[in-house]
Structure 1
Amino acid sequence: MKPFCRDTWVEVDLDAIRTNVETFRSHLPKSTGIMAVVKADGYGHGAVHVGKEALASGANSLAVAMLDEAIILREAGIEAPILVLGYTPAESVEIASRLRVELTAYNSDWMIHANEFLQQAGLEAVGVHIKTDTGMGRLGVRTSEELMRVVSTLEASPKLTWTGIFTHFACADEPDTTHARRQHETFQAFLQDLRHAGKKLPMIHCCNTAAAIAFPEWGYDSIRLGIGLYGLYPSPYMKERADVSLVPALSLKTRIAHVKTATEPFTVSYGATYCAQPGEQVATLPIGYADGFSRLLSNRGEALYNGTRVPIVGRVCMDQVMVRLEPGAGQVNDEIVLYGKQGDEEISLDEVAALIGTINYEVPCMLNYRIPRVYFQSGEEVGVFHPLTMKHAPLERCK
């Protein structure tokens, strides 16, 4: 018996994850490692299964946005190095120590408090990556003087170990490289100041997916492979460049729950924004905006049925959506593809993002805990995770 009841699910092709890791591996200098970014539950694909496959495919470590995400990976048996890229409250450093998770820091006061917590608890030292803000304007030290103070505080903290230094690019996915180059020059200046001060530099990393594509020579010790891991490009421009060929890993599928054929005009969904005409067939699908299928696709989006595009009609409801089919075509339980390929047709996440006025990153991230993830390798189902019930079906190959 399948581990979920509603006929709506995400399929993740782990072969695509492997291909994308290998593609970046061949695009980068041999000395540059790959840190697979699996924050936001692997950009909606499932952090555990994707993380394991990325590591099995040649990634050296994983990165997440918050410590809670790292806990999930450790509980799933992943032993590889994990870096938390975002802010972690100082009192949570004890969890990081117990789980051997490295943290991001950029503030001397935080380091002092974190060190005190670890000393009082008698725990092992925690690895720390210093974040520099070279032009992103979020987290990080902004001046050489500030950086020197932070490094000095870190070196004086017996329970903290300096294991990395990094920055993050704001515009590396754009045709105009001025901002990215300026950021890299600032980062290089920080590194040079540290060398002149006699500091032995730890792991250095600065490239996100976009920078890794455009500037592989900036790879240093590692890149942070985020959106590219999932077969998506950081921007339409990066896709057009065609430096690397990526394979999308995610499909969103459902099955027809009900079919009705209009014998007279009838309105469809809230607001009566669509009126079915005699002879039209309207199929109801068990997915809605509560699952992360955007209401902005109302009367605009499309789905795939028998390899053909069919329009979404009426407003997307919380739990259901309707599509118009050719008269007499649809049957209950027939498969519908909302994102992905069916036959020769494809509805890409880029297309969906453009329709709803966002970026492709957001589209899979919106797919939430109500939708199970089903994992495939070599065309065979190898694992299932249903966030609603929080049950993992083991993926034997990646143990």
Structure 2
Amino acid sequence: MEAAEPGAAGRTLATEAVVDLDAVAHNAAALRSAVAGGAAGGGAQLMAVVKADGYGHGIVETARAALAGGATWLGVAHVDEALRLRAAGVDAPVLAWILTPGGDLRPALEAGVDVSVAAGWALEDVVAAARATGRTARVHLEVDTGLSRGGAAPGEWPGLLDAVAKHVADGTVQVRGTWGHFASADEPELASVAAQLDAFEAALATVRAAGVDPGLRHHANSAGALFVPAARYDLVRCGIAVVGLSPAPQLASAADLGLVPAMTLRARLAHVRHVPAGAGVSYGHTFTTARASALGLVPLGYADGIPRHASSAGEVLVGGQRRRTAGRVCMDQFVVDLGDSSDAADVVAATAAAGDEVVVFGPGTAGEPTAQDWADAAGTISYEIVSRLGGRVPRRFTGTAGVPA
């Protein structure tokens, strides 16, 4: 049954992203099983990373489903994302790791949110919030092991730890974890992967030398968790794998990894027209029909997250057949070449009509393109394809994993 558009009784949605919550739970369980041999001896815990609205899948729903599948932690980029989880009643441990100077961290501490500390100013802000609220701040210490992005640089690390140790001693701060992040875990054979683990081990030794318990050790993202066993430590942080996409498709597909893509993006043809050979299509006429063609108009565009870089390259499923985009993807729509309208054997071209279903991407089990296929067409990664999906596209959730009674 099609979902009704809010406030539009009697009409069906022109577009929708269907998210299978049971697939999310399945993926979390598969990842827990994959990292059962963690360096801590009893296996690594799973942090489900649900930043960026759960990679476009819905932050609250994805978090609940991942917890139902065995995740024990949640990870987000910004404190506001963590507070959104708390407002929805999600009470699992959650870490927010991007802070900016002068931010008000009192709501985070009051909501029991862990925050990352990677610089002296961040520690000062955390301590100020702890004193203002009367709560002990729970922090994870981030060290830069070679990504050169976030984290304390090696030269800054000892000084930061000395300051942390003082606040641990006075009860203002509790260190719950120590962490770093890979630059190239999707290429595990690179020397930088082993070098980063060596740097992380050295950083952990410095934490202990400062008299601080490092807490949960975590360095692995999805690729690290799956392809770098030595990086599993006490906790792994998985985002793209939780929603069923491979973090390293050149090494293993989602199916190879036992993952199920959770999102299916659907639309309905808004218009079908028949044009002769030689017709220019969409802006700039970068595509010209080679024969008499049926063209379908899909009401999704780059404002909705369809990558313009996939113009005349991305494919969709219409009438059980893969069909390619024709010409440039526009802000609100793109055109699909439905086939040779002069060929009686081309059933799709002959019978396509406005209102017919278009599957832009999905798990691939019914022949439809996957998010990875669109990533390949656009020269990007599947992370971008799903997380850039805009707010104009309603999400519809199926399955029962994590759904409140």
Q: Same fold (TM over 0.5)?
A: yes
Asked if structure 2 preserves the Cα contact closer than 8 Å seen for 1:304 and 1:345, the reply is: yes
The one of 303, 306, 323 aligned to 1:293: 306
| 1:37 equivalenced with 2:49 (yes/no) | yes
Asked if structure 2 preserves the Cα contact closer than 8 Å seen for 1:56 and 1:398, the reply is: no
- TM-score normalised to the size of structure 2? 0.87
Q: Distance in 2 between matches of 1:279 and 1:239?
A: 40
| 1:312 equivalenced with 2:325 (yes/no) | yes
What pairs up with 1:133-144 in 2 under 5 angstroms?
Answer: 133-143=144-154, 144=157
Letter in 2 for 1:397: V
The one of 115, 137, 143 aligned to 1:103: 115
| 1:76 equivalenced with 2:88 (yes/no) | yes
- Using a 3 Å threshold, how does the CA distance of structure 1 residues 278 and 237 change in structure 2: closer, same or farther? closer
Letter in 1 for 2:71: A
| 1:302 equivalenced with 2:315 (yes/no) | yes
Asked if structure 2 preserves the Cα contact closer than 8 Å seen for 1:52 and 1:78, the reply is: yes
SS at match of 1:346: coil
Q: Distance in 1 between matches of 2:121 and 2:173?
A: 13
What is the aligned partner in structure 1 of residue 165 from structure 2?
152
| 1:359 equivalenced with 2:381 (yes/no) | yes
Unaligned segments of structure 1, at least 5 residues: 383-394
- Using a 3 Å threshold, how does the CA distance of structure 1 residues 325 and 35 change in structure 2: closer, same or farther? same
SS at match of 2:242: helix
SS at match of 1:62: strand
Asked if structure 1 preserves the Cα contact closer than 8 Å seen for 2:185 and 2:227, the reply is: yes
Asked if structure 2 preserves the Cα contact closer than 8 Å seen for 1:302 and 1:338, the reply is: yes
- TM-score normalised to the size of structure 1? 0.88
State the Cα distance separating 1:168 from its structure 2 match: 0.7
| 1:180 equivalenced with 2:193 (yes/no) | yes
What is the aligned partner in structure 2 of residue 17 from structure 1?
24
State the Cα distance separating 1:223 from its structure 2 match: 0.7
What is the aligned partner in structure 1 of residue 394 from structure 2?
372
State the Cα distance separating 1:50 from its structure 2 match: 0.6
What is the aligned partner in structure 1 of residue 344 from structure 2?
none
Deviations 1:228-262 (A, max 9, x none): 11111222333169873222111111001111123
| 1:55 equivalenced with 2:67 (yes/no) | yes
| 1:2 equivalenced with 2:11 (yes/no) | no
SS at match of 1:333: coil
The one of 385, 397, 403 aligned to 1:397: 403
| 1:333 equivalenced with 2:345 (yes/no) | no
Q: Distance in 2 between matches of 1:397 and 1:76?
A: 12
| 1:273 equivalenced with 2:286 (yes/no) | yes
Letter in 1 for 2:153: R
State the Cα distance separating 1:68 from its structure 2 match: 1.2
| 1:345 equivalenced with 2:367 (yes/no) | yes
What is the aligned partner in structure 1 of residue 175 from structure 2?
162
- Using a 3 Å threshold, how does the CA distance of structure 1 residues 3 and 80 change in structure 2: closer, same or farther? farther
Percent of aligned positions that are identical: 36
Deviations 1:284-306 (A, max 9, x none): 11111111111222222211112
SS at match of 1:191: helix
State the Cα distance separating 1:343 from its structure 2 match: 6.5
Q: Distance in 1 between matches of 2:303 and 2:398?
A: 25
SS at match of 1:92: coil
Q: Distance in 2 between matches of 1:343 and 1:221?
A: 35
What is the aligned partner in structure 2 of residue 124 from structure 1?
135
* CA-atom RMSD in angstroms: 2.4
Q: Distance in 2 between matches of 1:243 and 1:306?
A: 28
Q: Distance in 2 between matches of 1:204 and 1:240?
A: 28
Of residues 124-133 and 110-119 in structure 1, the stretch that sits farther from structure 2 once superposed is: 110-119
Q: Distance in 1 between matches of 2:197 and 2:278?
A: 62
State the Cα distance separating 1:11 from its structure 2 match: 1.3
- Using a 3 Å threshold, how does the CA distance of structure 1 residues 154 and 228 change in structure 2: closer, same or farther? farther
Asked if structure 2 preserves the Cα contact closer than 8 Å seen for 1:206 and 1:218, the reply is: yes
Of residues 235-244 and 266-275 in structure 1, the stretch that sits farther from structure 2 once superposed is: 235-244
Count of matched residue positions in the alignment of Structure 1 and Structure 2: 382
The one of 218, 243, 256 aligned to 2:269: 256
Q: Distance in 1 between matches of 2:159 and 2:254?
A: 38
State the Cα distance separating 1:277 from its structure 2 match: 6.7
SS at match of 1:213: helix
Asked if structure 2 preserves the Cα contact closer than 8 Å seen for 1:91 and 1:117, the reply is: no
Q: Distance in 2 between matches of 1:83 and 1:112?
A: 18
Letter in 1 for 2:189: D
Q: Distance in 1 between matches of 2:372 and 2:53?
A: 20
Unaligned segments of structure 2, at least 5 residues: 342-349
Of residues 230-239 and 337-346 in structure 1, the stretch that sits farther from structure 2 once superposed is: 337-346
Q: Distance in 1 between matches of 2:224 and 2:393?
A: 32
